[in-house]
Chains A and B, each alone.
Chain A
Amino acid sequence: MLAMNYRGPYRVRAAQKPYPEILHPGDAIVRVTRSCICGSDLHLYHGLVPDTRVGMTFGHEFIGVVEEIGSSVQKLTVGDNVIVPFNVACGTCTFCKQGLFGNCHESNSQATAVGGIFGYSHTAGGYDGGQAEFVRVPYADVGPTIIPDWMDHDDAVLLTDVVPTGYQAAEMGGIKTGDTVVVFGAGPVGIMAAKCAWLFGAGRVIVIDHLEYRLDFVRDYAQCEAYNFRSMDDPVLFLKKTTDWFGADVCIDAVGGDASGSALQTITGKKLLLQAGSATALHWAINSVKKGGIVSIVGVYGPTDNLVPIGNVVNKGITIRANQASVKRLLPKLIDHVQAGRLNPKAIITHRVPLEEVADAYHIFSAKLDNCIKPILIPPSARK
């Protein structure tokens, strides 16, 4: 089968790999019909996540058709169209029982901080991902959700990660009616976080980024204010000034370790890898939230040491809330929002690329070429 194959930082190709096998009675094999490249895949692509091994297939955002099932799978049958959440979750451990599907304890032997994630390095379990024609899906009775007949599959594929992550970012902000919410990053997750902030009753939503085409997009899509930090001397000062010198009620970091905007962070975090990537967005979030405010983090950071302004967290009495999205927990609500027209995920798709051209797709997304917001990959078997 054809699959994306990681060869090193900034190098990937489409290559033949063996068809995946059922390795556990709870497994299913899914024939992929659409997969996405996620902003967090770029952290892998840029070599920022430790234990990203040559030969891996990335891709934690995918949908497809159930092709085979293991002996204990009961909720799926061959031929079902399924949304596959990015978390690999057992459904039985203490954390899964509490709805913390992103923190499953039975899906990742190689780290305890994070549960299993499809195609997200060996730090997240060593699973091959969905940027392929077929993929092994463990715990098939837990995560995969049948796509409703009425749902456009372009909407469905975005429910595997980007929409739930954006939604949970807003939810973790504990937004109260009338709150001012600042979202750092106008990538797909930041766009969704801004959009979802309104669902919680935000009074004002502000997005900060440095790419004009993304700022234009988010203004239009999420009906929010959007500003370019390159045009400011100091984004923190700007945000203080525009919030009556108090700061925002809620700040959302939707960037993670690939942040631009600080030479020191870039050198120590992205070039020398001495900290968990560049923590510029996190600094700005902590420093521009009001006293007693909330910082919600969904941007992905690497696991090494991190130079965050923890003193300001203490002095300001900030609540920090962060997690990988628990997709399974959120799916019923999000499917309802899509059906009601409150969320229109597929509108963020700007590029549809054949899987064979995965290297170009990664480069376009990474280098922000051709006004790219969200690329999806279509395997050859899904184009017949």
Chain B
Amino acid sequence: MEQTPNEYSHIKGWGVDADPKNEPTYPIKNYTGDDHQRLNWERPPLQAVTVEILKSNERPNLSAVFGTSSPPSGLSGAIRRYAFKSSESEYGHWLPLLLADRINVVEGIVDDLRQGHIPNIFAEKGWKADWKYNRKGLVQNVLIGVVVTTALVVLLNWKKKRLAA
């Protein structure tokens, strides 16, 4: 059964943006006719490069403006530099970046310790909130962790003893 607009009177603004011309096969853009002008726009002033910025090999130059948040460094940085030799369509780009991210986590902990800061990993994981809102789940997870760790330690010790014998 076809519904009529009257049935939507309880919904404020029903249909105000209805537009029969919103044709989904046409992209939402203001077509300017200069799609094929490619790189001919007037570029904004270029930001000075003060830290190492890795650049996609799918573009000829750096963008006029860029972020300088966390320049590549250490082993993770070396892997990131390697990743940027491959295009964004390659596993050779994304998988090394994911590996670098994981190595970067260890580097972060080492950096913290080097600066005399012992990271409070429980606080960083938001366990205070867990204790407040998910106490049962938290206790359950801790118990599972303790049981698994104990089992592993016992197993390893047992193997060691067997080898020694």
Alpha-carbon separation in the docked complex, A198 to B124 (Å) = 41
Which size class do B's interface residues fall under?
Answer: 35 or more
Question: Quick one: given A126-B70, A199-B16, A199-B17, are A359 and B88 in contact (CB under 8 Å)?
Answer: no
Which size class do A's interface residues fall under?
Answer: 35 or more
Question: Quick one: given A304-B91, A304-B95, A319-B25, are A109 and B13 in contact (CB under 8 Å)?
Answer: no
1/0 contact trace for B47-79 toward A, CB 8 Å?
Answer: 110100111101100111111111010001000
Within 8 A of A (CB), among B83-122: 84, 88, 91, 94-95, 97-98, 100-102, 104-105, 107-109, 119-121
Q: Indicate if the CB atoms of A106 and B65 lie closer than 8 Å.
A: yes
A204 CB contacts on chain B under 8 angstroms: 3
Q: Indicate if the CB atoms of A11 and B125 lie closer than 8 Å.
A: yes
Q: Indicate if the CB atoms of B13 and A337 lie closer than 8 Å.
A: yes
Give B19 Cβ to nearest chain A Cβ, in Å.
Answer: 8
B63 CB contacts on chain A under 8 angstroms: 105-109, 116, 125
Q: Indicate if the CB atoms of A24 and B68 lie closer than 8 Å.
A: no
Question: Quick one: given A94-B41, A367-B134, A369-B133, are A111 and B88 in contact (CB under 8 Å)?
Answer: yes
Closest residue of chain B to A323 (Cβ to Cβ) is: B28
Closest residue of chain A to B117 (Cβ to Cβ) is: A15
Q: Report the number of A-B residue pairs with Cβ-Cβ less than 8 Å.
A: 250
Which residue of A51, A90, A172, A361 has the most chain B CB atoms within 10 A of its CB atom? A51
Question: Quick one: given A97-B32, A126-B53, A360-B128, are A90 and B18 in contact (CB under 8 Å)?
Answer: no
Question: Quick one: given A47-B101, A126-B53, A305-B91, are A319 and B44 in contact (CB under 8 Å)?
Answer: no
Question: Quick one: given A26-B45, A72-B45, A97-B30, are A116 and B67 in contact (CB under 8 Å)?
Answer: yes
Alpha-carbon separation in the docked complex, A335 to B18 (Å) = 18
Within 8 A of B (CB), among A259-282: 273
Alpha-carbon separation in the docked complex, A11 to B124 (Å) = 5
A97 CB contacts on chain B under 8 angstroms: 30, 32, 34, 41
A343 CB contacts on chain B under 8 angstroms: 13
Within 8 A of A (CB), among B1-28: 2-3, 5, 8, 10-20, 22-25, 27-28
A177 CB contacts on chain B under 8 angstroms: 5, 15, 18
B98 CB contacts on chain A under 8 angstroms: 50, 273
1/0 contact trace for A329-369 toward B, CB 8 Å?
Answer: 00001000100111100000000000000011111101101
Q: Indicate if the CB atoms of A198 and B134 lie closer than 8 Å.
A: no
Closest residue of chain B to A362 (Cβ to Cβ) is: B126
Which of A54, A107, A364 touches B65 (beta carbons < 8 Å)? A107
Which residue of A11, A109, A303 has the most chain B CB atoms within 10 A of its CB atom? A109
Q: Indicate if the CB atoms of A7 and B53 lie closer than 8 Å.
A: no
Q: Indicate if the CB atoms of B20 and A176 lie closer than 8 Å.
A: yes
Within 8 A of B (CB), among A196-211: 196, 198-201, 203-204
Question: Quick one: given A8-B105, A99-B28, A109-B62, are A342 and B70 in contact (CB under 8 Å)?
Answer: no
Q: Indicate if the CB atoms of B59 and A112 lie closer than 8 Å.
A: yes
1/0 contact trace for A120-142 toward B, CB 8 Å?
Answer: 00110111100000000011000
Give B73 Cβ to nearest chain A Cβ, in Å.
Answer: 9
Question: Quick one: given A23-B50, A97-B32, A273-B98, are A198 and B13 in contact (CB under 8 Å)?
Answer: yes
A105 CB contacts on chain B under 8 angstroms: 59, 63
Alpha-carbon separation in the docked complex, A177 to B17 (Å) = 10
Within 8 A of B (CB), among A215-271: 223
Closest residue of chain B to A366 (Cβ to Cβ) is: B126
B48 CB contacts on chain A under 8 angstroms: 23
Q: Is A113 an interface residue (CB 8 A)?
A: yes
Alpha-carbon separation in the docked complex, A223 to B13 (Å) = 13
Q: Indicate if the CB atoms of A109 and B55 lie closer than 8 Å.
A: yes
Q: Indicate if the CB atoms of B47 and A23 lie closer than 8 Å.
A: yes
Question: Quick one: given A51-B101, A199-B16, are A110 and B70 in contact (CB under 8 Å)?
Answer: no
Which of B56, B119, B121, B130 touches A112 (beta carbons < 8 Å)? B56
Give B76 Cβ to nearest chain A Cβ, in Å.
Answer: 8
Q: Indicate if the CB atoms of A359 and B68 lie closer than 8 Å.
A: no
Q: Is B161 an interface residue (CB 8 A)?
A: no
List, sorted by A's number, 17 A–B pairs whose CB atoms are closer than 8 Å. Answer: A11-B124, A24-B65, A51-B80, A94-B34, A109-B54, A111-B56, A116-B63, A126-B53, A126-B68, A174-B23, A273-B98, A319-B25, A321-B27, A359-B123, A363-B127, A364-B133, A369-B129
Given contact pairs A125-B67, A273-B98, A361-B129, a sample of 16 additional A-B residue pairs in the complex whose CB atoms are under 8 Å apart: A11-B121, A51-B100, A109-B54, A109-B63, A110-B54, A110-B84, A122-B67, A126-B53, A126-B69, A139-B44, A175-B18, A177-B15, A321-B28, A341-B12, A367-B134, A369-B134
| 5 shortest interchain CB distances as A-B pairs | A363-B126, A174-B24, A342-B13, A126-B67, A127-B67
